[in-house]
Structures are given as structure tokens and as C-alpha cells.
């Protein structure tokens, strides 16, 4: 790195601070947490993508494909479930949430089931999101330190302080527009790494000659994931549908973006574009990992610098050793951008849930100015908590991207099931919903600790099914009617199956399967 690289990095950080200042005028919770419900489809689409395609994906997905033992292009099958999940959300979940006008989606559950259900799920969200985001920041700072020589604490400070300032000032608008810029940067950064890795290995012919064909398999149709086998097609689809539906529809960090849209039509378009646009980005991640892994094998000196047990240093090491100055700075910005995107999204959502739950518990009403003040205060609080957790976040597993998804899979299925119960099952009451939620999480914890041979993606599907089954039975056994308030009745109901959207997303699902089948054939594997 030279002075030019540092100028690029500083210019980008200054731009983020300017963005927060530009959007600093916030007058209500609708402004601060939902951007006044006037944000466009394009920035919201990029923001929802950036929140999940974060620093961990930017670093770990190529490492999984290129170097991880047992890895390869099978990671691409993780995306097959996305179009189906988006279609289900369009019809069964987000229309009711949007019509309800809530800021915290867990407010919807309180209206339907009572305060106990809301607090139960929001507590899980607060703890899991704070912990997961701290791991992501820790991993990013550690890689910047080990691969690029940037001081570990300085990396955490830059990520944390800059993100907190623009999130604190600008609220949801600053978060969304910074996420959109960061998503473009991430895509450009990965594309540049792909181009330069091909160039440094001698071009496409050299890549095709030296590629490890065992890493080309995408569809593992013979693996069901019940006997210690991983990454089979069926758990990736069935478990993936539940995971993505829960993440995009029932996780505050994502749902808060769709709830910021101008109308229900915009909500549907955001989901449609996510169902179509994620796959090309992840395909680029995977292709870059395949090329980088081949390059590393062709260059033993470079490969020797990468710990086989911690392949996540593959991308940053290549950046600092083989990319030109100026572009190095831009790619470090892309890496920082990915981590900042995760943090900014999470602290805004943690703040929304915290302050809404606090008011429900205390019964206090805040005027607009005090609401915005305390919203900013809780943004700062959660930001500090996450940054402190990241400082002490040692002992990270080498496959961080898998570890984070594995932790989430304990909760995603039961949480999605609880929202489905609230929207689709009129006869289920609070007792049934709570019993189902606790049982679903308990079963998943048992599977984790007592049945390690069951692939963790199945936990999503199993937890969802168990939660719904137990809730229906418990509600019927306990008797009593569910309390349906006027607010719930007004937002009740599902969306419609739009023919064009349905055909488009099903066609995208079929195209993904076809591409997965053709990849090894195209390379002669």
C-alpha cells in the first residue's frame, strides 16, 4: 500500500460521514427507522442485498469455493432457494406486516399474540444479531491485520466509529444509501479480483488447464444430509427456503428495509429483484474463488502463506500482493464497506426493536423529538456493545460464514413459523404460539448437540414444521380463542399470486438448477 491507497480509503470514509450529515434532519420514528416510507426500489434492493452479502461473504465464500476441504462450487446451490422464498414472502408474510404500519415487526406479534411472544422473539433477535455482527467485524479486522498489516484495534475502530457516526446522524436513509453504494463497490471489487487473478495466472487457458475438477460439482443430488453428509441439494433447497424466508421477512434488519418502501407494489418489486439479482452476485463470488484457488495451487509460495485451517486470508493476501496501487485502496474500501454495511443495518434495527419494546414494557409515550433522541442513543449503545464484543471475539472458527449461518439456523425456522401462525392460523392463541416457538428452538438445540449427523440446514425446515405442529396442537388442547384486535383485522390477509412475478421467479429457480447442472459439464468434469 502507498499514499494513493490511503487517499482512496480516506476519501470514501469522508463520503460516508458526509452522507450521515446530509440526512441528519429526522423528525419522527417513521423518518428515522423507515426513511419516511419514501425510499425508492433500487436503493432498497441494493441495501437488502448488501446486508447479507457482507464482509463474510466477500472473504469467506471465495475461500470456501477455492481452498476449503470439501468445498467448491456447491456453495452456489445455497442460492437456489431464494426465488421460492421471495415468492412466499410476497404472498404470505410481508403484505400483512406492511399494512400493519409497524416499525418493529415484533410489534405485529404482540398485537396478535401478546407481549410475551413479542419479547421472546425480540430478545432472540437482539442477542443473536449483536453477537453475529461482532463476529463479522472481528473476522474482518483480523484478516486486515494478518494479511495487510493493519493494526487490529485500528481496523475495528475505523469500522465501528465511522459507521456509528453516519448511522447515528442519518437514520435509515443514510443506512440505505450507504448500503447501495457499498453493494456496488463490493460487486466491482470482486470483479476486479477475478480479472487480475486470471491475468496473473496466464489467462483463461492456464486456468482451464490447472482447474481442480472436483470443485466444479454444484448439484449433489445423492446427499440428503442425514448421515453426516453436507451440502446436498435437498437440504439446500428445503432448508434454504425457510432460512431465506425467515431472514428476509421475519428478521428486523431485512424487513425494516421492505417496510420503508412507498407502497405494497414497491415491496413486491424489492423481493422480486432480490430473487433475481442475488444469484449473479454469488455466482461471481464462486467463480472468483475457483480462479483464486487455482492460482494459489499454481503458485506454491503464495499458497504457503495461507493457513490450510484458515483459508479466509486468500482474498486479502491476493489483493495486497498482486493488485495495483489505487485499486488496492479501493478493494480495501470494498472490504470495509461490506463490514460497515452489516454494522449499520444491524444497529439501526437493534435500536428500533429496543426502543419500541421499552415503550411497550413501561407504557411511556415519547414525543417526536424525544423519540428520535432516544433512537439515536440506542444506536450508539448497540454500536458500542457490538464493537466491544468484536474486540473480545477470539476463537473464531476458520469457516466463519458457515458458523454464522449455523447459529442462525437454530432460530430461523421457529421464528418464520411464529409469523406464519400469526398471519395464517386464526385459531392459534398466545399459549400455542409460545409453546410452539420454545419447542421448535429446543428441538433444534437437541439436533445440534445430540444429532450432529443431521446437516444444519435441515434445522430450518424441521424447526419450522415442529413449531407449527406444536402450536396448533397446544392451542387446540388449551382451548380459548385467539384475541384478534381491530389492528390485526385491518392488516389480516395474504397477498396475491401475480402471474408475471410467479412465472419469473419459478423460471429463475429452474435456470439456477440448469446452470448448476451445466457448470461441470461445460468444464469437462
Distance in angstroms (rounded) separating the CA atoms of residues 242 and 283 = 21
**Number of Cβ atoms within 10 Å of the Cβ of 485:** 10
Its pTM stands at 0.83
**Number of Cβ atoms within 10 Å of the Cβ of 524:** 9
User: Coil, strand or helix: which one is 510?
Assistant: helix
CATH class for the domain made up of 3-392+402-522: mainly alpha
Give exposure, 273-284, as e/b (b: 16+ Cβ within 10 Å): bbbbbbbebbbb
pLDDT of residue 341: 63
* Degrees, nearest 5: CA angle 95-252-270: 50
346-357 confidence digits (pLDDT tens) = 776 777 777 777
Q: Which residue has the higher pLDDT, 395 or 112?
A: 112
Q: How many residues does the chain have?
A: 525
Contact 130, 378 (CB under 8 A): no
163-190 confidence digits (pLDDT tens) = 666 555 555 566 666 667 777 777 888 8
Distance in angstroms (rounded) separating the CA atoms of residues 491 and 90 = 15
Residues with Cβ < 8 Å from 259, sequence gap 6 or more? Answer: 34, 37, 97, 98, 102, 103, 105, 267
Distance in angstroms (rounded) separating the CA atoms of residues 169 and 20 = 5
pLDDT of residue 462: 97
pLDDT of residue 375: 72
Cα Rg, the chain, nearest whole Å:
23
Domain ranges of the chain: 3-392+402-522
pLDDT of residue 398: 42
478-500 confidence digits (pLDDT tens) = 776 665 555 555 555 566 788 89
* Degrees, nearest 5: CA angle 265-268-274: 140
pLDDT of residue 246: 93
Nearest to 165 by CA among 371, 361, 340, 355: 340
Residues with Cβ < 8 Å from 130, sequence gap 6 or more? Answer: 346, 350, 382, 385, 386, 389
Query: What's the rounded mean pLDDT across residues 321-343?
Result: 77
Contact 302, 11 (CB under 8 A): no
pLDDT of residue 358: 67
Cell of 457: 440446514
Q: Is it the case that residue 471 has pLDDT exceeding 80?
A: yes
* Confidence tier at 396 by pLDDT (50, 70, 90): very low
User: Coil, strand or helix: which one is 156?
Assistant: helix
Give exposure, 299-315, as e/b (b: 16+ Cβ within 10 Å): eeebbeebeeebbbbbb
Least confident of 205-214, 343-352, 511-520: 343-352
16-52 confidence digits (pLDDT tens) = 667 655 655 554 445 444 544 566 677 777 777 766 6
Task: Give backbone dihedrals phi and psi of 23, rounded to 5 degrees, phi first.
Answer: -100, 25
Q: Is it the case that residue 292 has pLDDT exceeding 70?
A: yes
Q: Is it the case that residue 465 has pLDDT exceeding 70?
A: yes
Least confident of 65-69, 153-157, 294-298, 422-426: 153-157
Distance in angstroms (rounded) separating the CA atoms of residues 330 and 464 = 42
Residues with Cβ < 8 Å from 452, sequence gap 6 or more? Answer: 228
**Number of Cβ atoms within 10 Å of the Cβ of 40:** 17
Residue 87 to residues 245, 271, 283, 482, Cα–Cα distance (Å): 9, 8, 21, 28
Nearest to 413 by CA among 379, 442, 376, 384: 442
* Degrees, nearest 5: CA angle 58-243-110: 120
Strand-pair partners of 261: 39
Contact 219, 62 (CB under 8 A): no
Query: What's the rounded mean pLDDT across residues 214-226?
Result: 89
pLDDT over 70 for what percent of the chain? 79
Contact 487, 107 (CB under 8 A): no
Measured N-to-C along each axis, helices 115-148 and 314-322 cross at an angle, to the nearest 10 degrees, of 40
Nearest to 412 by CA among 440, 435, 439, 431: 440
Q: How far is CA 186 from the centre of its chain?
A: 15
**Best-predicted range by mean pLDDT among 27-36, 341-350, 401-410, 431-440?**
431-440
Distance in angstroms (rounded) separating the CA atoms of residues 343 and 341 = 6
Amino acid at each position: 500500500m502507498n499514499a494513493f491507497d490511503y487517499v482512496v480509503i480516506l476519501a470514501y470514509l469522508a463520503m460516508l460521514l458526509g452522507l450521515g450529515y446530509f440526512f441528519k434532519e429526522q423528525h419522527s420514528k417513521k423518518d428515522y427507522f423507515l426513511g419516511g416510507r419514501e425510499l425508492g426500489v433500487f436503493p432498497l434492493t441494493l441495501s437488502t442485498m448488501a446486508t447479507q452479502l457482507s464482509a463474510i461473504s466477500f472473504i469467506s465464500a471465495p475461500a470456501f469455493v477455492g481452498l476449503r476441504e470439501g468445498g467448491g462450487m456447491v456453495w452456489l446451490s445455497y442460492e437456489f432457494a431464494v426465488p421460492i422464498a421471495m415468492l412466499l414472502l410476497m404472498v404470505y408474510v410481508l403484505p400483512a406486516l406492511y399494512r400493519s404500519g409497524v416499525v418493529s415487526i415484533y410489534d405485529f406479534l404482540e398485537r396478535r399474540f401478546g407481549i410475551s411472544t413479542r419479547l421472546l422473539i425480540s430478545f432472540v433477535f437482539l442477542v443473536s444479531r449483536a453477537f453475529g455482527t461482532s463476529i463479522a467485524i472481528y473476522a474482518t479486522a483480523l484478516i486486515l491485520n494478518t494479511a495487510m498489516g493493519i493494526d487490529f484495534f485500528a481496523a475495528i475502530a475505523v469500522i465501528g466509529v465511522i459507521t456509528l457516526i453516519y448511522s447515528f446522524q442519518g437514520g435509515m436513509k443514510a443506512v440505505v444509501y450507504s448500503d447501495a453504494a457499498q453493494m456496488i463497490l463490493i460487486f466491482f471489487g470482486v470483479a476486479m479480483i477475478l480479472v487480475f487473478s486470471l491475468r496473473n495466472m496466464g489467462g483463461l487457458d492456464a486456468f482451464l488447464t490447472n482447474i481442480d475438477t472436483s470443485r466444479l460439482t454444484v448439484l449433489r443430488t445423492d446427499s440428503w444430509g442425514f448421515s453426516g453428509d453436507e451440502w446436498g441439494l435437498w437440504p439446500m433447497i428445503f432448508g434454504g427456503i425457510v432460512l431465506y424466508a425467515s431472514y428476509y421477512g421475519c428478521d428486523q434488519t431485512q424487513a425494516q428495509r421492505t417496510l420503508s418502501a412507498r407502497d405494497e407494489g414497491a415491496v413486491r418489486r424489492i423481493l422480486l429483484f432480490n430473487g433475481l439479482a442475488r444469484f449473479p452476485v454469488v455466482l461471481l463470488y464462486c467463480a472468483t474463488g475457483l480462479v483464486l484457488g487455482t492460482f494459489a495451487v499454481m503458485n506454491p509460495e503464495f499458497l504457503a502463506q495461507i493457513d490450510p485451517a484458515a483459508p479466509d486470508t486468500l482474498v486479502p493476501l491476493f489483493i495486497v500482493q498482486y493488485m495495483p496501487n489505487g485499486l488496492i485502496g479501493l478493494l480495501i474500501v470494498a472490504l470495509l464497506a461490506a463490514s460497515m454495511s452489516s454494522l449499520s443495518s444491524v444497529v439501526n434495527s437493534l435500536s428500533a426493536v429496543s426502543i419500541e419494546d421499552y415503550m411497550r414494557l413501561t407504557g411511556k409515550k415519547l414525543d417526536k423529538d424525544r423519540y428520535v433522541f432516544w433512537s439515536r442513543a440506542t444506536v450508539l449503545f448497540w454500536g458500542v456493545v457490538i464493537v466491544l464484543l468484536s474486540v473480545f471475539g477470539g476463537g473464531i472458527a476458520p469457516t466463519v460464514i458457515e458458523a454464522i449461518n449455523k447459529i442462525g439456523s437454530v432460530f430461523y425456522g421457529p421464528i418464520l413459523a411464529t409469523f406464519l401462525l400469526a398471519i395464517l392460523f386464526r385459531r392459534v392463541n398466545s399459549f400455542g404460539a409460545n409453546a410452539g416457538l420454545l419447542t421448535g428452538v429446543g428441538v433444534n438445540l437437541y439436533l445440534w448437540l445430540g444429532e450432529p449427523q443431521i446437516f444444519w440446514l435441515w434445522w430450518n425446515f424441521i424447526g419450522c414444521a415442529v413449531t407449527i405442529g406444536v402450536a396448533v396442537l397446544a392451542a387446540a388442547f388449551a382451548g380459548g380463542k385467539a384475541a384478534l384486535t381491530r389492528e390485526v383485522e385491518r392488516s389480516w390477509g395474504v397477498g396475491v399470486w401475480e402471474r408475471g412475478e410467479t412465472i419469473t421467479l419459478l423460471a429463475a429457480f429452474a435456470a439456477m438448477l440448469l446452470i448448476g447442472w451445466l457448470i461441470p459439464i461445460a468444464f469437462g468434469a
